[in-house]
Amino acid sequence: MNKPHRYEICIQGILSDNWSDWLDGLTIKSQSDCETTLNGYLTDQAALLGVLARIHTLNLKIISVQKENKNEAR
């Protein structure tokens, strides 16, 4: 069974933390430089692609996506 991986997704613009549930429960933190960081565990690559598609639907620019190297579960 695959273990969830922790991801950090940085997007351009400010996104309210009200979107967290729609984005698979990722933690949303807005930065002062008009960027927002999404952090949290995603179960698999399909979940990651789903979140990226939702970000695209909101017409937000993705700056970076990073996966934590450790294979630790929640």
pLDDT tens figures, 17-29: 999 999 999 999 9
Regarding predicted confidence, which is higher, 52 or 72?
52
pTM, to two decimals: 0.86
Residue 72: is its pLDDT beyond 60?
A: no
Give me the pLDDT at residue 74, please. 47
Please compute the mean of the pLDDT values over residues 41-58 and round it to a whole number.
96
Instruction: Give the full edge-to-edge strand order of the sheet including 5-12.
Output: 27-30, 35-42, 5-12, 62-67
